[in-house]
Amino acid sequence: MAAVPVKPIKKVLVANRGEIAVRVMRTCQERGLAVVAVYSDADRLAPHVQIADEAVHIGPSASAQSYLVIEKILAACKQTGADAVHPGYGFLSENEDFADACAAAGITFIGPSADAMRKMGSKTEARKTVTAAGTPVVPGDNGPSGNGFPSAEAALVAARQIGFPVLLKAAAGGGGKGMRLVAAEADLPAAFDGARREAMAAFGDDAVYLEKAIQRPRHIEIQVFGDQHGNLVHLGERDCSIQRRHQKVIEEAPSPVVSPELRAKMGAAAVAAARAVAYVGAGTCEFLLGADGGFYFLEMNTRLQVEHPVTEMIYGLDLVAWQLDVAEGRPMPLTQEQLDARRRGHAVECRVYAEDPVKFLPSPGRITHLRVPDGPYIRNDSGCYEGAEIPVHYDPMISKLVVWGETRAAAVQRMRRALDEYQVRGIETNLAFHRRCFRHAAFIEGDYDTGFIGRNTAELTPRAEGAELDAAIIAAALNVAMAPKATASSSTNGAAVAAPMPHSSEISGWRNQLR
């Protein structure tokens, strides 16, 4: 391979916001690089703006008018003399036009080539490409043209071949949008129309293809990394099976069910998939792991992922530093053997969301009180602070709480303690959900799959928390204290018994029950 010249980066514009913008800037600053923030109206006072050396206002709060506008990001680079762009995740991170536009402007895009993004962006194209590389994909059919079925009739013929249940998926999709489960032949026509409509609405492309439905799968993804010298390695797996409506909630590394042998096999399959598109930078191959131990490639995410910290924790590495290294043309600092030898312990991540814990709807507003956990082997990647307003315009994630332990059991215990220290007031959060999950017997055993939250919603959903809980306790206490003497007719109501004001220990007992 021809020698790759090293081109040092001097100033990085981070085309993102929130915790990931902060996290990327920290590594840049540790390397002595200048960092530029971009921000919308809603983010004037955001942490990523405060820690950057310079900040450029790029428009109104709506992402479609700010963080998603390629011309505005490029203009900010020109204005500040940034020679590289880090896209974070979401927004423009997997937009091949943005990668092309950066290249055309002489700006280093910290990520893979536009060509690799394009090949992995189409799910049918990705299935073709990685199958040719020997990576197992879910049994299925891309359709007669190789990019979807022209009619429900054609899909039905293919579905009979595959065997029910099948899934209809959007070729342009990913992440579950435009996906329909079809249990039997009779359900296919309606599902086909529905999937097409949803795919068109979400991606502007109504091509849908078929996959056999894998029952009770685990979502296992492999972190891969490539450099410009043709080296490709994997950094093991993350188990992201704890999800709700295709939103990840808890991730861990390693997976409780992946043996060293399976890791080596899945790692090799992921590296082969990445090699098929000459992948450079950080990428993730998503697999489904069936109950029978079979694994199948689903899609490749051509970016650094939200949950990358659990991998960093078990390898003791900074993946953003690796991204900068390979973007500058340097070879990766470690070989596969060296990486394998570094793995140690277990890491878990809780995504703390500003959301209604019962209805799971975003709960924007002002954080009036915040206490974040601390102590050994705890990391809280956050883009907010006490007094901050959680805007309605973006993802409602408050922070990623990540802990490491020598064993999975130690990591789980540490997370319980960390969660108990975490206090947020002013907005609703899913902290109570996390506290319950880390005390759930099946979770503690590592015995879960992608249906875990759905099957255990009642046990994992708090009835009341915070102010609502306090109000309920005060009401109950008053009810007890104020109730008239029990009579034959009123004694069916347990609270209607005359009693003195309850003792505080009794109140805390109720509190624990109500939790």
Stretch that binds ligand MV4, among 86-94, 207-215, 333-341, 507-515 (CB under 6 A): 207-215
The footprint of ligand MV4 on residues 450-469 (CB under 6 A) is: 450
Looking at beta carbons only, is 201 or 471 nearer to ligand MV4? 201
Q: Which residues pair with 12 in a beta bridge?
A: 35, 84
Q: How far is the CB of 217 from ligand MV4 (least distance, A)?
A: 5
Residue tagged 């490639």 (tokens): 297
Stretch that binds ligand MV4, among 122-130, 205-213, 393-401, 431-439 (CB under 6 A): 205-213
Stretch that binds ligand MV4, among 57-65, 208-216, 319-327, 414-422 (CB under 6 A): 208-216
Stretch that binds ligand MV4, among 42-50, 82-90, 174-182, 458-466 (CB under 6 A): 174-182
By CB under 6 A, the count of residues binding ligand MV4 is: 16
The footprint of ligand MV4 on residues 274-303 (CB under 6 A) is: 288, 298
Decide if residue 138 touches ligand MV4 (CB under 6 A): yes
Amino acid making up residue 1 = M
Contact 430, 353 (CB under 8 A): yes
Decide if residue 211 touches ligand MV4 (CB under 6 A): yes
Q: Which two tokens stand for residue 335?
A: 């070989």
Instruction: State how beta strands 397-405 and 378-382 pair.
Output: antiparallel
Looking at beta carbons only, is 310 or 367 nearer to ligand MV4? 310
Query: Cα(456)–Cα(165) distance, rounded to whole angstroms?
Result: 24
Query: Cα(154)–Cα(157) distance, rounded to whole angstroms?
Result: 5
Decide if residue 167 touches ligand MV4 (CB under 6 A): yes
Looking at beta carbons only, is 12 or 167 nearer to ligand MV4? 167
Looking at beta carbons only, is 166 or 304 nearer to ligand MV4? 166
Looking at beta carbons only, is 184 or 341 nearer to ligand MV4? 184
The footprint of ligand MV4 on residues 407-426 (CB under 6 A) is: none
Annotation says 303 is catalytic = yes
Burial 385-400 (b: 16+ CB within 10 A, else e): eeebbbbebbbbbbbb
The 60-99 contact track toward ligand MV4, x by CB under 6 A, reads ----------------------------------------
Decide if residue 113 touches ligand MV4 (CB under 6 A): no
Q: Report helix angle 114-121 to 96-104, nearest 10.
A: 170
Q: Pick one of 81, 176, 230, 375: the residue that binds ligand MV4 (CB under 6 A).
A: 176
Amino acid making up residue 338 = Q
Looking at beta carbons only, is 298 or 320 nearer to ligand MV4? 298
Q: How far is the CB of 116 from ligand MV4 (least distance, A)?
A: 19
Residue tagged 């032949």 (tokens): 185
Stretch that binds ligand MV4, among 124-132, 206-214, 369-377, 396-404 (CB under 6 A): 206-214
Which residues does 225 contact at the CB level (< 8 Å), separation at least 6?
232, 233, 234, 235, 281, 282, 283, 319, 322, 326, 332
Q: How far is the CB of 120 from ligand MV4 (least distance, A)?
A: 13
Query: Cα(85)–Cα(102) distance, rounded to whole angstroms?
Result: 8
User: Residues 180, 218, 263, 303: which is the catalytic one?
Assistant: 303
Residue tagged 């759930």 (tokens): 440
Query: Cα(286)–Cα(273) distance, rounded to whole angstroms?
Result: 11
The footprint of ligand MV4 on residues 300-329 (CB under 6 A) is: none
Nearest to 413 by CA among 375, 468, 369: 375
Looking at beta carbons only, is 427 or 437 nearer to ligand MV4? 437
Q: Pick one of 60, 134, 175, 230: the residue that binds ligand MV4 (CB under 6 A).
A: 175
Q: How far is the CB of 251 from ligand MV4 (least distance, A)?
A: 11
Amino acid making up residue 458 = A
Looking at beta carbons only, is 44 or 455 nearer to ligand MV4? 455
- Burial of 488 per CB tally in 10 Å (0-12, 13-18, 19+): exposed
The footprint of ligand MV4 on residues 212-271 (CB under 6 A) is: 212-214, 217, 219, 243, 246
Which residues does 451 contact at the CB level (< 8 Å), separation at least 6?
216
**Hey, what long-range contacts does 358-364 have (CB within 8 A, 24 or more apart)?**
358/461, 358/462, 358/463, 360/244, 360/245, 360/430, 362/392, 362/396, 363/390, 363/396, 363/427, 363/428, 363/429, 364/389, 364/390, 364/391, 364/392, 364/396, 364/427
Decide if residue 122 touches ligand MV4 (CB under 6 A): no
Stretch that binds ligand MV4, among 90-98, 167-175, 197-205, 486-494 (CB under 6 A): 167-175
Q: How far is the CB of 39 from ligand MV4 (least distance, A)?
A: 31
Looking at beta carbons only, is 117 or 214 nearer to ligand MV4? 214
Q: Whats the size of the chain, residue-wise?
A: 515
Backbone phi, then psi, for 57, in 5-degree steps?
Answer: -75, 130
Residues in contact with ligand MV4 by the rule CB under 6 A: 138, 167, 174-176, 211-214, 217, 219, 243, 246, 288, 298, 450
Active site residues: 303
